[in-house]
Structure 1
Amino acid sequence: MKYFNTRIQLLLMLILATIPVAAHAHSDSWKFTENNNNVIRMQTKGGDSAESGNVKIEFYGHMAFKITSPKGLSIMIDPWRNDPSGAWGLWFPAEFPEVPVDIVLSTHAHFDHDAIYHPHATMVLERMAGEFNLGDVKIIGVAEKHMCKSKGWYKWTEAAKEFNQDFCPPDNFLHMDNFIQIVETGGMRIAHWGDNRPLPTKFADDLLKNIDVLIMNIDGSRHILSYEDIDAALKRYNPKVVIPGHYYTKGASSILTTLSTADEWVDRQKDVVHLNKSELLLEPDKIKSLKQRVYYFGMNHSKK
């Protein structure tokens, strides 16, 4: 029996040794070689988020997007990781890139959105509500709720019974809260939907009006939003630019995500630009006349 127990212990040690480092969530910020020099420059020189200027958006797969202001302040939203508990499988074949950024944001406390300690960030604004200003950037965090009833083929919300909790408000646990992030810079308003429910409160709805760019969950499996949800939201907010996210991205996603590509929905749209790289330069003078142009990154995602 003692020999058998020893073998079991060794087996458990081997299993634990194979779990990726991404499984832990603690901060390694004290090891980062980066510093806050750019943040100091921004707070000293200031800036105006309404001043027109080019804004760069980079796609890192799933719902992770990096936004860089005209004056060079960088913001990463929703970096991903694999579920530390292992209950949801391996959604990502690699760890999130240790990219240096000034600010990292997370819309909600789900593993595929909250790897806030993987980017080398000077500041962490996790699940932020209210207003934040620095340099030529203004960020408005909108406290809202996560989609709580799955509409696609994979009924992930049925796990609520297993976890003995209500996923829907008002008695939901924290992980079913969502914080839409609106980044104002370069004279544009860029909204990152997170995993929000399709019909926000009036308070949130009003803040989302006059959005120039909307980054939204769009995938063929309808994991978060149905096509009807997406189309209704676009009709309400009428953004000049739509950027799909939260879809299967070869190289960044594994098939265990249960997600599909956004191809089917994208192919239905009238004005589509298929990007051939992982970054997009938004020029305010060029987008002001657009009406829901779709910029689709497809399988192009940044790895650094």
Structure 2
Amino acid sequence: MKSNRLQQCLFALLTLTMSTFAVASNTELTWYGHAAFKIKTPSGKTILIDPWITNPANKNGKDDLAKIDKADLILVTHGHSDHVGNSAEIAKKTGAKLVTTFDLGKALTQYGGYPKEQMGFDTQGNFGGELTLLDGEVKIAFIPAVHSSSVVAPEGSADKDLHDGGNPGGFLITIKGGPSIYHTGDTDVFGDMALIPQFHKVDIMLACIGDHFTMGPDRAAEAAKLVKPGMIIPMHFGTFPVLTGTPDALSSALKKRGVRSKLRTMNIGETIKL
């Protein structure tokens, strides 16, 4: 009798464990090149981050953009055009809500063409704050960045001025039944990155490594040492000639600093399950 009961308990525990892993594996991450990513949650919700889908590194950019017919949230780290990208166009087609700081959200709706009715108090925040969205499936924390931020009107507009886009930042996206993903935005390494894992374990770090406008491989490796992610995925490199940082250089820098995070280099257009 005791043996049967033990077997039943072990079977129930195994079933629960397998179910947990099955749910977690349903989180998908797609890279479109540069800093543009798509996250598909276990329930099928779609989150886009810095969606410059038609960036020069993405040879299938126009087709990829045309195929995006569903988006629930669009996250924009700062106002530069290579991160705002195709946000307004996608938002008009999908009804996606805008997730940014208040200053950037106001600038994007006033000057950047983003629909005003899709920017609300519920999806706007600021550094140190955290939003609970998509019926509790997703939490998004606002993380500072060392960079700049300005907004320009869409191409073809008569407005050629630069408009204040508030302070630049990044996002820590925590998915129920899935991983926690830190998108650094454009930034240099800064000491307070060490505080991030004190509040949230970081499973995946999407780290800019291009140099020139952001941290390069050496400084990105130092950032990974502070954040301690389970995996680091390089981004924001090779789009333009001046972005000279490479994943190989990052690999060497990680080894030099004894960083144990797994390096995973994605191909443009690739989707991985997390």
TM-score by length of 1: 0.54
Does the C-alpha gap of structure 1 residues 203 and 261 become closer, same or farther in structure 2, counting only changes over 3 Å? closer
Q: Look up the match of 1:245.
A: 235
Q: Look up the match of 1:144.
A: 144
Shift of 1:242: 0.7
- Note if contact 1:81-1:113 (Cα within 8 Å) is conserved in structure 2: no
- Alignment of 1:193 with 2:179, yes or no, is no
Of residues 68-77 and 186-195 in structure 1, the stretch that sits farther from structure 2 once superposed is 186-195
- Note if contact 1:193-1:215 (Cα within 8 Å) is conserved in structure 2: yes
- Alignment of 1:53 with 2:24, yes or no, is yes
- Give the alignment partner of residue 98 of structure 2, picking from 100, 114, 125: 125
CA distance in 1: counterparts of 2:251 and 2:224, whole angstroms: 16
Shift of 1:232: 1.6
Shift of 1:236: 1.2
2:168 aligned partner, one-letter code: N
- Give the alignment partner of residue 108 of structure 1, picking from 78, 82, 93: 78
Unaligned runs of 5+ in 2: 1-21, 101-123, 149-161
1:104 aligned partner, one-letter code: I
- Give the alignment partner of residue 294 of structure 1, picking from 255, 258, 263: 263
CA distance in 1: counterparts of 2:193 and 2:48, whole angstroms: 27
- Give the alignment partner of residue 177 of structure 1, picking from 160, 167, 174: 167
1:107 aligned partner, one-letter code: T
Does the C-alpha gap of structure 1 residues 227 and 138 become closer, same or farther in structure 2, counting only changes over 3 Å? same
- Note if contact 2:237-2:246 (Cα within 8 Å) is conserved in structure 1: yes
CA distance in 2: counterparts of 1:208 and 1:178, whole angstroms: 21
Residues 28-107 of structure 1 aligned to structure 2 (within 5 Å): 53-54=24-25, 55-80=27-52, 97-98=65-66, 99=68, 100-107=70-77
CA distance in 2: counterparts of 1:56 and 1:269, whole angstroms: 28
Shift of 1:131: 0.8
TM-score by length of 2: 0.60
1:113 aligned partner, one-letter code: H
Shift of 1:69: 0.8
CA distance in 2: counterparts of 1:139 and 1:223, whole angstroms: 29
Q: Which has the higher contact order (CA 8 A, sep 6+)?
A: 1
1:178 aligned partner, one-letter code: P
Say which SS state the counterpart of residue 264 (structure 1) adopts.
helix
Of residues 236-245 and 111-120 in structure 1, the stretch that sits farther from structure 2 once superposed is 111-120
Q: Look up the match of 2:118.
A: none
Unaligned runs of 5+ in 1: 1-50, 84-89, 149-164, 166-172, 272-289
Taking only aligned residues, the RMSD between alpha carbons, in angstroms, comes to: 3.7
Say which SS state the counterpart of residue 191 (structure 1) adopts.
strand
Write out per-residue CA displacement over residues 143-192 of structure 1, whole angstroms, 9 at most, x where no aligned residue. Answer: 524425xxxxxxxxxxxxxxxx9xxxxxxx84362232111112421111
Greater helix proportion: 2
Q: Look up the match of 1:233.
A: 223
Q: Look up the match of 2:242.
A: 258
CA distance in 1: counterparts of 2:226 and 2:191, whole angstroms: 11
Say which SS state the counterpart of residue 242 (structure 1) adopts.
strand
- Note if contact 1:104-1:116 (Cα within 8 Å) is conserved in structure 2: yes
CA distance in 2: counterparts of 1:264 and 1:198, whole angstroms: 19
Shift of 1:76: 0.5
